Structure 1
């Protein structure tokens, strides 16, 4: 008997439209012989099922059910394609854990931890994970430019602490530009992380659970045409994404081992995609994404394709593992 799968997409953040694209790709490639797929759009105003005629049917939040032609439909598994809040920060995960509905993403605590860049880096430092020097700042806190520059140096990166797709990120070359970068980041989040600039090769590493095994996918090298891997570089073709990466065997071995180690240390499940920059042969962690982009052009699908895993197989394995 076919399983009912709810593909949740949308969300409350600036990444809403990117999530819709990811969710529609999952809907397109999910094996119809095994699954009945339903597109569930999550917005601040309403949660609804979007049928093939693009008609909206409101969802019942008490048990996450929908009605089609008067018949109630419940779901066997949730496929999470929401980037940003509430799908990547633990809120939806906690909700589904309470309802006891299996889901393809990691559990709520791990989602909340990885979505919070500064908490993640703080949690991983005792495990020997290398990362950039950082300075934390909250909305309303006094901005001490001298203290910031003395700690992280110039250039530096000013980032919204809980945001994705490079929203709220600026590279600052001069101290007089620091305040504007902080203001920009505060549009996305009331917590800021300011990090030292790491000058090296940037790579992205996907980790999945495939056939019951934690599997590290081929490494992607990222070369941005812009000053850094910003929104334009990610989504508007202003970058080269080379899979497999043109790195040494030593670098490849170290970064794959590190990505797998982080996945296991944090107790993740489903997909993760970790970003690193090499300083010499040593990978420095930038961040961990637990609901990475899933369009045909996104990094994780690119890596899976290089590994010989089709999109249908990639999405299927996530559901199989969630149901297991």
Structure 2
């Protein structure tokens, strides 16, 4: 029987290039070769596409190459802008080429923390209070901004770049001087930032599996996140082996577990996700506060989604097959 040809797309031009390479390598190494032929495709940080044993191609020549290789499905293992934000998804939609994960609109919405929070809030999901700040506003009236931060949130608070992933472009300043320094660092990722209220609580994450046509999305076991030497679940804690203890199932009550799972399923639905997603939370007592949804969660050896799937009895190769078959069924 003819095998399905899957191209695993990894790397990319975003600041998460290295993480994406690790995700792509794990995916490629664990796809069931009895069912699938696999071609690894690396996108360089300059935006060129590298097929095995071939010269670099620009995107205009790379897309016809996918057709020439008779690729049946693209497994998108890209993280961050120009991979997770709907642009590639829309391109593959236009080409009629199946791909794993959420579609163009949901990917774009989920990547934008400002607008995804607005949609979640409208759906009755609790999110942290925030206000938006531009570089122009900061330069024009710093004293007023600092007074507003102290009045509305005090310290610590959070500063976030709205369209980055893997906790890149994020800081938790402890005082006013730290705030000013951190703000300039986050502005390096763009001229608009989110200033959020800091909630001191347990961080948990909940994966959602959505692979059966006609069936509702299903939340997997909740994972508790305990960074070892970082103050929050930052890039180091996420991708350095041993830098974070991840406990599945989380050490929370069955009632709180059900709350977290229900919100994760709700967000997956209202954002419009497909196939799979992972929502992150802070627990304010027994009340989950939703942080964000990841439409292409990490697939590295330290990643949370595969851990949740394993806790639900789904082995890594089986999980990847579910993603691929869902993409093909959605064609």
Structure (1 or 2) with the greater helix fraction: 2
Provide the residue aligned with 1:244 in structure 2.
Answer: 249
Q: Distance in 1 between matches of 2:130 and 2:248?
A: 30
Work out whether 1:61 is the aligned partner of 2:60.
yes
Provide the residue aligned with 2:123 in structure 1.
Answer: 127
Question: How much does 1:3 deviate?
Answer: 1.6
Q: Distance in 1 between matches of 2:179 and 2:55?
A: 44
Moved more, 140-149 or 299-308: 140-149
Instruction: Name the SS for the 2:291 alignment partner.
Output: strand
Q: Distance in 2 between matches of 1:260 and 1:189?
A: 31
Provide the residue aligned with 1:306 in structure 2.
Answer: 311
| TM-score normalised per structure 1 | 0.93
Provide the residue aligned with 1:217 in structure 2.
Answer: 220
Asked whether the equivalents of residues 59 and 65 of structure 1 are also in contact (C-alpha less than 8 Å), the reply is: no
Q: Distance in 1 between matches of 2:254 and 2:275?
A: 27
Q: Distance in 2 between matches of 1:163 and 1:115?
A: 7
Work out whether 1:86 is the aligned partner of 2:82.
yes
Q: Distance in 2 between matches of 1:47 and 1:100?
A: 22
Asked whether the equivalents of residues 106 and 268 of structure 1 are also in contact (C-alpha less than 8 Å), the reply is: yes
Work out whether 1:277 is the aligned partner of 2:282.
yes
Q: Distance in 2 between matches of 1:111 and 1:318?
A: 16
The unaligned stretches of length 5 or more in structure 1 are none
Question: How much does 1:58 deviate?
Answer: 2.8
Work out whether 1:73 is the aligned partner of 2:69.
yes
Moved more, 222-231 or 312-321: 222-231
Asked whether the equivalents of residues 211 and 276 of structure 2 are also in contact (C-alpha less than 8 Å), the reply is: no
Q: Distance in 2 between matches of 1:311 and 1:55?
A: 29
RMSD between superposed Cα atoms in Å = 1.8
Question: How much does 1:230 deviate?
Answer: 1.4
Q: Deviations over 1:264-293 (max 9, x none)?
A: 122210221100111122110011110110
Provide the residue aligned with 1:232 in structure 2.
Answer: 236
The unaligned stretches of length 5 or more in structure 2 are none
Asked whether the equivalents of residues 204 and 282 of structure 2 are also in contact (C-alpha less than 8 Å), the reply is: yes
| TM-score normalised per structure 2 | 0.91
Question: How much does 1:62 deviate?
Answer: 5.9
Asked whether the equivalents of residues 134 and 151 of structure 1 are also in contact (C-alpha less than 8 Å), the reply is: no
Q: Deviations over 1:224-282 (max 9, x none)?
A: 23221112221223221101100001100110011011111222102211001111221
Q: Distance in 1 between matches of 2:19 and 2:315?
A: 21
Provide the residue aligned with 1:208 in structure 2.
Answer: 209
Structure 1 segment 8-157 matched on structure 2, within 5 A: 8-51=9-52, 56=55, 58=57, 61=60, 64-66=63-65, 72-142=68-138, 143=142, 144-157=145-158
Instruction: Name the SS for the 1:113 alignment partner.
Output: helix
Asked whether the equivalents of residues 65 and 75 of structure 1 are also in contact (C-alpha less than 8 Å), the reply is: no
Asked whether the equivalents of residues 49 and 62 of structure 2 are also in contact (C-alpha less than 8 Å), the reply is: no
Instruction: Name the SS for the 2:302 alignment partner.
Output: coil
Moved more, 148-157 or 80-89: 148-157
Q: Distance in 1 between matches of 2:84 and 2:162?
A: 13
